[in-house]
Amino acid sequence: MSVTSQNEMSTQPMRRRGCFFYLKRATLGFSLVLIALVLLGVGYQTVASELDKRSYAPRGQIYTVNGHQMHLVCNGSGSPAVILQAGASAESLWWYRVQQQLAPHTQVCAYDRPGMGWSDPVEGSRDPLTINAELHTLLDRAGIPAPYVMAGHSYGAILTRVYAAQYPNEVAGIILVDSQLVTPKRFASEGEVNQNRSYWDIVQGLGSVMTRVGLTRLIGNGDFQRFGYPPEIAQEIVGLQARLQVVDAYYAENGPAFPALQAASAAAENLGDLPVSVLWASQTNDQNQGNPSLRPFMEELSTYSTTTVTRVVEGANHGSILGMEEYARQVSEAVLDLIDAVQTGKRLGS
């Protein structure tokens, strides 16, 4: 056999080990690493969740509402009582700074909707009227007398406005903090509603995956510390939020219940002369003002009552408006101003 033939034979296997061979090896290696990371993340999430159960006991009292357990934490004393409503996928601890700041002045209570915080998850409708009826029963069980001053953040601001329309004799005034913008004008057709629901189906799927593999927990702690919460409070909030029941409750409130949310929001657009304080984080304000599709809804929010004061918390974003002490102080001052107007009969903002 010639030298040339031997060289051709010796290089033949090398040709077979071309790009596809190494691509397969790289793909296999990547898959093994990915599987290992997923298993590691699942293990991390499982262990951390068990530690959370032992570390974070309810900060308030547990009451039975419609056969399920709900959590309400109250501080301070006096009237009118201030009732705090958290945003989507959020729980009472988001109000930590505001609640601490208001407690020396009056009774202030924050609660967890079913599936959030220390409240049990429930099956069935998560529409605003049902959610508010649960809060109504919870406050009755806890013996918190009306009328209330109510404050809501984000999605919770919609619920607060709806509560004022649903139980007008029980609400003395409301504070809407960086409110989510939902009106029937935003989704005008059934097709758009279905498209929105499909979006939330994707959100639930991604949220479930991220929570199962521990990503929600890993990302969240840094986020809440950047919002300005004390490190131990940020860690506790993450522990409460990094659970599948929160993902499911978040989806139920925003996905299937969205048409009901639209209808309830539309029915709460005429609050008469109810004192209303509207607060915007400056970053949210700038984003909405720069968005032609959102600006009208933002401006419209200030027209729902003839007694409305609108303020911008400079430097704040959607999370830090509650988490950063200096920004939370401005929220608390808005609550105290509203209480003063209620007690003295002065016009809000005068």
Mean pLDDT of 288-301: 85
- With 0-12 / 13-18 / 19 or more C-beta atoms within 10 angstroms meaning exposed / middle / buried, residue 245 is middle
Residues sharing a CB contact under 8 Å with residue 309, sequence separation 6 or more, in sequence order: 276, 277, 278, 334, 337, 348, 349
Strand 68-75 to strand 108-111: parallel, antiparallel, or no bridges (unpaired)?
antiparallel
Closest CA to 332 of 117, 138, 153, 72: 153
Cα-only R_g, the chain: 25
> Residue 9 pLDDT > 50, yes or no?
no
Tokens of 302: 């200030």
Task: Give the pLDDT confidence score for residue 277 in this predicted structure.
Answer: 97
pLDDT tens column, 330-347: 999 999 999 999 999 888
DSSP characters for 60-97? SEEEEETTEEEEEEEES--SSPEEEE--TT--GGGGHH
Closest CA to 98 of 66, 124, 73, 125: 73
Q: Return the ∠ at Cα 88 (arms to 125 and 182), rounded to 5°.
A: 80
Contact 139, 83 (CB under 8 A): yes
* Distance between CA atoms of residues 43 and 36, nearest Å: 11
CB atoms within 10 A of CB 330: 19
Query: What's the pTM?
Result: 0.83
> Residue 179 pLDDT > 60, yes or no?
yes
Q: In what helix (H) or strand (E) does residue 192 lie, and over which residues does it extend?
A: helix 190-212
Mean pLDDT of 123-147: 95
Lowest mean pLDDT among 129-138, 175-184, 265-274: 175-184
Q: Which range is most confident: 26-35, 119-128, 304-313?
A: 304-313
The mean pLDDT of the chain is: 85
Mean pLDDT of 100-116: 97
